[in-house]
Amino acid sequence: MSALLEVTDLKVHFPVRRGVLMRQVGSVKAVDGVSFAVGKGETLGLVGESGCGKSTTARAILRLIPATGGSAKLEGTELLSLRGGKLRAKRRDMQMVFQDPYASLNPRMTVFDILAEPLIVHGVAKGKTELEGRVQKLMSQVGLSPAYMRRYPHEFSGGQRQRIGIARAVALKPKLVLLDEPVSALDVSIQAQILNLLVDLQEQLGLTYVFVAHDLAVVRHVCKSIAVMYLGRIVERTTTERLFKAPKHPYTQALLSAIPIPDPVREKKRRRLVLSGEVPSPLNPPPGCHFHTRCPVAVDKCKKEVPRLEPVEDGHMVSCHVVKDRGGLAPDLMSDLG
């Protein structure tokens, strides 16, 4: 299947300026050479700790922030060089659902105004009756009663507000939706409902998702494949099934070992691979493999040479010197983990 979205060597560097003349003294490499592809109707999870560049990647693809280099193609059309009317027209095909549903909804607009706005801007529906019909249908699609059309965002719960955010994102039947931590601000009891809604809408509307999350457990059941990011780079990329069954990168192994197991007997035996230290600053990342300051199996080479993201098996890419030197075998960190 050809990819709907193809991202190649995407870079987002932010200049750091100091002094009276605001001279550039360095740059924060928030995204530093990220590549992946997502097939039509599929979901790719982009996972990593806060500050790893996953949200920046999503925003750069949507052109909400400028990319420094690389390419992002939607159905073969280069998004990063689009300007003016062509960019506005393309925006219809790509939408975003934000983490904080309250902050992303204008508190002075009713649900009707919020959902009718994109329909008016893109000339999809005209006239009060047609607009009301479209908004009512959208509200029903996301599980909200159309009777609440004239209410304001503050009159809804967090989960309901995220449903409004999702309705706004799918109003124009986009091809691609970037979900930026769409459930992390919600109660655990509500998270599953929103995830189910996203899966249902994907089936109904044939949507393609890039799902940004810090929590691997959240993306497990909705993503076909997962890319794990650390300090602006992808360190492992493969199918969700393979990632959970046989993670190879030490960082992925540590992330997975932090997920609680629902079975109390196995949970009791679960051993956590605790990483020492904090994620280093992207302003001054460690040389070589960015992960070497926290990696339990780092070797000398890790401090000097940047490991390339390379296939170790069919459809399984890893960026790690030790995995490569072991012929694609993972370092033995998880053998005792539940």
- Contacts of ligand SF4 in 193-252 (CB under 6 A): 249-250
Q: What is the dihedral of CA 255, 219, 246, 2, to 10 degrees?
A: -130
* Euclidean distance between CA atoms 51 and 202, whole angstroms: 28
Which stretch in 48-56, 198-206, 256-264, 288-296 sits in contact with ligand SF4 by CB under 6 A? 288-296
* Euclidean distance between CA atoms 119 and 304, whole angstroms: 53
**How far does CA 230 lie from the centroid of its chain?**
13
Task: For the beta carbon of residue 91, count every other beta carbon within 10 angstroms.
Answer: 18
Which stretch in 1-9, 117-125, 272-280, 291-299 sits in contact with ligand SF4 by CB under 6 A? 291-299
Comparing CB distances to ligand SF4, the nearer of 153 and 247 is 247
Comparing CB distances to ligand SF4, the nearer of 155 and 300 is 300
Of 149, 255, 291, 316, the one binding ligand SF4 by CB under 6 A: 291
Comparing CB distances to ligand SF4, the nearer of 218 and 323 is 323
Comparing CB distances to ligand SF4, the nearer of 161 and 290 is 290
How many residues line the site for ligand SF4 (CB under 6 A)? 13
User: Hey, what are 207's tokens?
Assistant: 């949507």
Binding characters for ligand SF4, 247-286, by CB under 6 A (x = yes): --xx------------------------------------
* Euclidean distance between CA atoms 43 and 33, whole angstroms: 21
Comparing CB distances to ligand SF4, the nearer of 144 and 312 is 312
Q: Is the Cα dihedral 187, 193, 199, 203 positive or negative? A: negative
Contact status: 142 vs ligand SF4 (CB under 6 A): no
**What b/e string do you get for 158-189 counting C-beta neighbours within 10 Å, with b at 16 or more?**
bbbbbbbbbbbbbbbebbbbbbbbbbebbeee
Q: Least CB distance from residue 225 to ligand SF4, whole Å?
A: 20
Q: Least CB distance from residue 19 to ligand SF4, whole Å?
A: 35
Of 218, 289, 317, 330, the one binding ligand SF4 by CB under 6 A: 289
* Euclidean distance between CA atoms 84 and 63, whole angstroms: 12
Distances (CA, A) of 318 to 101, 185, 208, 262, 312: 34, 31, 24, 28, 7
Comparing CB distances to ligand SF4, the nearer of 199 and 258 is 258
Binding characters for ligand SF4, 293-322, by CB under 6 A (x = yes): --x-xx---x----x------------xxx
Q: Least CB distance from residue 17 to ligand SF4, whole Å?
A: 31
Comparing CB distances to ligand SF4, the nearer of 183 and 275 is 275
* Euclidean distance between CA atoms 101 and 185, whole angstroms: 8
Kindly report the backbone phi and psi dihedral angles of residue 38, in degrees, each rounded to the nearest multiple of 5, phi listed first.
-130, 125
| Residue found by looking up tokens 């072991």 in the block | 326
| Residue found by looking up tokens 């030197």 in the block | 325
**How far does CA 194 lie from the centroid of its chain?**
16
Q: Least CB distance from residue 173 to ligand SF4, whole Å?
A: 41
Comparing CB distances to ligand SF4, the nearer of 112 and 291 is 291
Of 29, 237, 248, 292, the one binding ligand SF4 by CB under 6 A: 292
Residues that bind ligand SF4 (CB under 6 A): 249-250, 289, 291-292, 295, 297-298, 302, 307, 320-322
